[in-house]
Amino acid sequence: MANAVKGEVSLEAGGETYRLAYTTNAMCELEDATGEPLGKIVEQLGDDANPPGVKTLRLLLWGALIEHQEDMTIKQAGRICDDIGMSAVGDVIGKALQAAFPDAASSGKTQASKSK
């Protein structure tokens, strides 16, 4: 079960319940995988003119899953995307980012986007 105090959110997919969290380790893994600071990646989520691609959404989902499912692969994250749909993936990523940066979410910016 997800612990909101720790910045976790839950996701149900394929009969499983997953915990998502953008921990320090998860954010570093995402930056390593993309070669970009997390703030730059997150900025794409709110850019209607240049929204993130499917590959980016799948990677963001994977990053949020790996803290609690250390053996999660990017392909497994893709299967979760297929199961719940990309719109739901975007929603759960947004919730996980808000949980990770609650003070910044209320001001419209995440710490990640401030630190670029």
Question: What is the DSSP code string of 51-113?
Answer: PPPHHHHHHHHHHHHTTT-TT--HHHHHHHHHHH-HHHHHHHHHHHHHHHSHHHHHHT--HHH
Question: pLDDT tens digits, residue range 28-45?
Answer: 999 999 999 988 888 888
pLDDT score of 116: 46
Instruction: Look at residue 11 and tell me whether its pLDDT is greater than 70.
Output: yes
Whole-number pLDDT of residue 40: 87
Banded model confidence at residue 103, pLDDT cuts 50, 70, 90: confident
Instruction: Name the average pLDDT for the chain.
Output: 86
Asked whether residue 108 carries a pLDDT value surpassing 80, the answer given is no
Question: What does the pLDDT read at residue 41?
Answer: 84
43-55 mean pLDDT? 84
Higher pLDDT, 45 or 107: 45
